[in-house]
C-alpha cells in the first residue's frame, strides 16, 4: 500500500466515531459550559487572546523586518519564536545573524548574537526547516574564516636560548621542559603559532 | 451507530469530511447547531492533534478546550467563513505553545519508549488510531511543521492554501513541507 493510499484510507475514516463516544463528550462539554466559574471562563478567553498575540507579534516582526529595522524585528520575532509560531524561529535566526554582522566590532555582543542565532537555527531545523542548518553552517563558516590569522612563528633570532620547542622537548625530561615552558615567552609564542600542537618528536636513531 | 461528517447517522460505514470545495459553505450553512458542529468536527480535530502531539492527554485536553471556546463563541463563529478552520488554527497554536514550553523546561517526552507507550494508549482508546497505527506513528516522527501540514492537507483534506492560512505560513511553504513530509513518510513506511 503506497503512502497516498494509506493517507486516503485514514482520511476517509477520520470523521467516523461511534455516536456513544461523541454523545458522552458533548454532554460533558455542555455541562462544563453551563457550570463553569467566571474565573475559568476568563482563563479560557485569556488563552485565546494569547494565541492571537503570537500571530500579532509575528506580523509586527515581519513588518519591521521588511522595513529594515532588525532590532525591532528581533524583539517581536522572539515572542513568536518562543511559542513556536510558524517560521518565526528561522526568521529570528536570520535577523540575529544580521545584527551580529553589524556588531562585528564588539566581540562580546557579536558572540551573544551569534549564539542566540545558532540556538534558533537549531530550533527551526527541529521544526522542519532544513535551510536553517545551511544558514547555521554558513554563519559558523563565515566566523571561522574571519578569525585572527595564527601568530607568525618566531623568527630564528627570537628563538629561546635553547633553540625552540623541539629542541627543549628533545633535550630534557618532561619536568624540566615544563618548567622552561612556563618561563620562556618565545616557546609560548611558538606553541600558539602551531595552533596548540607540540612539534613532532624526532624518530629515534 | 457511526456519525458521518455533517451529523448524519450511517451505521458503521467509513465517513469522510465534506468535499473540500464545499467545506466552508457546508460548515456555515448545513451545521446550524453547536451539537451538529461538534459531532462533525470533534473526531478529526482530536485525531489530528493526537497525530501530532507528544502526549495524547495534551491533545485531548486542547481539543476539549478548543471546542469549549467554540461553544462560548458559537454565535460569533457562525459568522465566520470557515468555523472549522478556526478550530484547527486555535488548537494547533495551543499545542505548539504547550510543547514549546515543555521543550524549554525539558519536560517533553522524546524517547522512543514513551512515544510507543503513548501511542499504544491512544490506540487502545480509539479505533481509528488503532486501524491506522503505522501512518499515525510515522506522522508523529516527522518534524513539527511537516506533521501539521500532513495532518491538515493529507488527513483532513484542506487545500494547501487553506493549510497555509491555518498554520500562518505561505502556500508555497505549505507545499514544500508537504512534499518533504511525503518523501519522509515513504521512507518510514517502506
Residue B155 has pLDDT above 70, yes or no: yes
Q: Which residues of A30-64 are buried (b: 16+ CB within 10 A; e: fewer)?
A: eeeeeeeeeeeeeebeebbeebeebbebbebbbeb
- In angstroms, the first-to-last Cα distance of chain A is 70
Q: Is the Cβ of A86 closer than 8 Å to some Cβ of chain B? A: yes
Per-residue H/E/C for A29-56: HHHHHHHCCHHHHHHHHHHHHHHHHHHH
Q: How many CB pairs under 8 A join A and B?
A: 150
Q: Where are the beta strands (DSSP E) in chain B?
A: 2-4, 8-9
Helix, strand, or coil (residue B172): helix
Interface test with B, best of A1, A9, A11, A14 (most B CBs within 10 A): A14
- Cα A113 to Cα A61, A139, B13: the distances in Å are 17, 11, 57
Say yes or no for a CB contact (<8 Å) between B68 and A47.
no
**Mean pLDDT, residues A28-48:** 95
Residue B57 has pLDDT above 50, yes or no: yes
Tell me how far apart the alpha carbons of residues A157 and A13 are, in angstroms, rounded to a whole number.
84
Tell me how far apart the alpha carbons of residues A95 and A93 are, in angstroms, rounded to a whole number.
6
Residue B6 has pLDDT above 90, yes or no: no
Q: In this predicted model, what pLDDT tens digit does every residue of B89-118 receive, in sequence order?
A: 999 999 999 999 998 888 887 777 888 899
B144 contacts on A by Cβ (under 8 Å): 84, 126-128
pLDDT computed for residue A82 by the predictor: 95
Q: Is the Cβ of B52 closer than 8 Å to some Cβ of chain A? A: no
pLDDT computed for residue A149 by the predictor: 53
Q: Is the Cβ of A104 closer than 8 Å to some Cβ of chain B? A: no
Run of H or E including A18: strand A17-18
Say yes or no for a CB contact (<8 Å) between B93 and A54.
yes
Q: In this predicted model, what pLDDT tens digit does every residue of A158-181 receive, in sequence order?
A: 667 777 777 777 777 776 777 777
Residue A62 has pLDDT above 90, yes or no: yes
Q: Closest Cα to residue B52, out of B185, B181, B144, B179?
A: B144
Percent of chain B at pLDDT > 90 equals: 73
**Mean pLDDT, residues B52-74:** 95
Percent of chain A at pLDDT > 70 equals: 86
Say yes or no for a CB contact (<8 Å) between B132 and A6.
yes
Nearest-Cα distance to chain B for A31, in Å, is 10
Rg of chain B in Å (alpha carbons): 16
Interface test with B, best of A3, A58, A121 (most B CBs within 10 A): A3
Say yes or no for a CB contact (<8 Å) between A51 and B94.
yes
Q: Which residue of B has its CA nearest to A47?
A: B94
B39 contacts on A by Cβ (under 8 Å): 22, 26
Say yes or no for a CB contact (<8 Å) between B39 and A22.
yes
Q: Cell numbers for A203, please give them.
A: 624518530
Q: Which residue in the set A3, A13, A29 is minimally distant from B71, CB to CB?
A: A29
- Stronger pLDDT, B163 or A192, i.e. the higher one: B163
pLDDT computed for residue B156 by the predictor: 95
**Mean pLDDT, residues A109-126:** 94
Q: In this predicted model, what pLDDT tens digit does every residue of A75-115 receive, in sequence order?
A: 999 999 999 999 999 999 999 999 999 998 898 999 999 99
Confidence of residue A69 (pLDDT cuts 50, 70, 90): very high
Rg of chain A in Å (alpha carbons): 31
pLDDT computed for residue A141 by the predictor: 87
Kindly report the number of other CB atoms within 10 A of residue A192's CB atom: 12
Q: In this predicted model, what pLDDT tens digit does every residue of A143-159 receive, in sequence order?
A: 877 655 555 555 544 66
Confidence of residue B30 (pLDDT cuts 50, 70, 90): low
**CB–CB of B152/B159 below 8 Å?**
no
**CB–CB of A129/A119 below 8 Å?**
no
Q: Cell numbers for A184, please give them.
A: 620562556
Tell me how far apart the alpha carbons of residues A1 and A5 are, in angstroms, rounded to a whole number.
6
Percent of chain A at pLDDT > 90 equals: 65
Confidence of residue B13 (pLDDT cuts 50, 70, 90): very low
Amino acid at each position: 500500500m503506497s503512502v497516498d493510499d494509506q493517507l486516503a484510507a485514514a482520511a476517509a475514516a477520520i470523521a467516523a466515531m461511534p455516536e456513544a463516544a461523541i454523545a458522552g463528550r458533548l454532554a460533558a462539554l455542555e455541562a462544563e459550559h453551563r457550570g463553569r466559574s467566571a474565573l475559568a471562563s476568563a482563563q479560557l478567553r485569556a488563552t485565546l487572546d494569547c494565541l492571537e498575540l503570537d500571530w500579532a507579534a509575528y506580523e509586527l516582526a515581519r513588518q519591521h523586518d521588511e522595513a529594515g529595522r532588525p532590532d525591532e524585528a528581533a524583539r517581536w520575532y522572539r515572542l513568536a519564536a518562543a511559542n513556536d509560531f510558524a517560521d518565526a524561529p528561522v526568521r529570528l535566526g536570520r535577523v540575529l545573524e544580521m545584527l551580529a554582522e553589524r556588531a562585528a566590532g564588539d566581540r562580546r555582543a557579536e558572540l551573544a548574537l551569534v549564539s542566540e542565532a545558532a540556538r534558533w537555527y537549531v530550533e527551526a531545523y527541529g521544526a522542519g526547516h532544513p535551510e536553517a542548518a545551511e544558514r547555521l553552517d554558513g554563519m559558523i563558516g563565515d566566523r571561522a574564516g574571519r578569525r585572527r590569522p595564527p601568530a607568525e612563528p618566531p623568527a630564528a633570532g627570537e628563538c629561546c636560548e635553547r633553540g625552540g620547542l623541539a629542541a627543549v622537548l628533545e633535550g630534557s625530561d618532561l619536568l624540566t621542559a615544563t618548567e622552561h615552558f612556563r618561563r620562556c615567552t618565545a616557546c609560548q609564542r611558538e606553541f600558539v603559532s602551531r595552533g596548540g600542537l607540540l612539534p613532532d618528536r624526532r624518530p629515534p636513531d | 451507530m457511526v456519525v458521518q461528517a455533517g451529523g448524519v447517522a450511517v451505521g458503521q460505514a467509513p465517513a469522510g469530511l465534506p468535499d473540500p470545495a464545499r467545506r466552508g459553505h457546508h460548515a456555515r450553512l448545513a451545521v446550524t447547531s453547536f451539537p451538529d458542529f461538534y459531532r462533525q468536527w470533534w473526531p478529526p480535530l482530536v485525531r489530528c492533534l493526537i497525530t501530532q502531539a507528544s502526549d495524547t492527554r495534551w491533545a485531548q485536553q486542547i481539543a476539549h478546550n478548543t471546542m469549549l471556546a467554540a461553544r462560548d463563541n458559537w454565535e460569533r463563529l457562525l459568522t465566520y467563513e470557515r468555523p472549522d478552520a478556526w478550530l484547527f488554527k486555535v488548537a494547533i497554536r495551543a499545542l505548539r505553545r504547550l510543547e514549546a514550553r515543555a521543550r524549554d523546561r525539558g519536560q517533553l517526552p522524546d524517547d522512543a519508549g514513551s512515544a510507543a507507550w503513548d501511542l499504544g494508549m491512544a490506540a487502545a482508546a480509539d479505533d481509528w488510531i488503532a486501524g491506522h497505527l503505522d501512518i499515525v506513528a510515522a506522522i508523529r516522527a516527522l518534524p513539527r511543521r511537516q506533521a501539521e501540514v500532513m495532518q491538515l492537507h493529507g488527513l483532513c483534506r484542506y487545500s494547501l492554501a487553506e493549510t497555509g492560512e491555518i498554520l500562518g505560513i505561505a502556500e508555497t511553504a505549505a507545499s514544500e513541507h508537504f512534499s518533504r513530509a511525503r518523501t519522509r513518510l515513504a521512507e518510514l513506511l517502506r
